[in-house]
Amino acid sequence: MPQYLISVWHDDEYADNDWSDPDIQRLGQQVGALNEEMESTGVWVFGAGLQPQSTATVVRSTAGDVSMTDGPYAETKEQMGGFWVIEVPDLDSALEVSAKCAAACEGAVELRPMQTE
């Protein structure tokens, strides 16, 4: 069965993951319920939230030299905040799951098929 990556995108306003914020708590409950649904239906492969982009390190390799710099790869208002890897029969099924993900996160998600061989 094909696997897909669903990337969750959001603005910097949610970057700190302040779990005392009622909006963050509500989103966490919605995503948790969706995770349980995906696990029970067998489409769940893996998923995780990410720390804020301020915690990122960019690692580059050029002609055998490796450099590391603090901060995100791209300066942007929207950032990847988490992801799911799902396994479903086809693109239509993946789109259905992605719609639920967008609703649970109350924002945009990006769906991309995984490369095969």
| The predicted structure's pLDDT at residue 41 | 96
| The predicted structure's pLDDT at residue 75 | 67
| The predicted structure's pLDDT at residue 12 | 60
| pLDDT, mean of each 10-residue run, the chain (117 residues) | 87 66 89 95 92 84 90 69 94 97 92 89
| The predicted structure's pLDDT at residue 73 | 65
**Domain residue spans in the chain?**
3-113
Give, in degrees to the nearest 5, the angle at Cα 39 between 22 and 87.
Answer: 115
Closest CA to 49 of 17, 20, 26, 71: 17
| The predicted structure's pLDDT at residue 44 | 94
| The predicted structure's pLDDT at residue 4 | 94
CB of 87 closer than 8 Å to CB of 6: no
CB of 3 closer than 8 Å to CB of 86: yes
| The predicted structure's pLDDT at residue 85 | 97
**How far apart are alpha carbons 83 and 102 in whole angstroms?**
11
CATH 3.60.70.12 assigned to 3-113: no
| The predicted structure's pLDDT at residue 42 | 96
Closest CA to 34 of 43, 25, 21: 43
Total Cβ atoms within 10 A of residue 84: 24
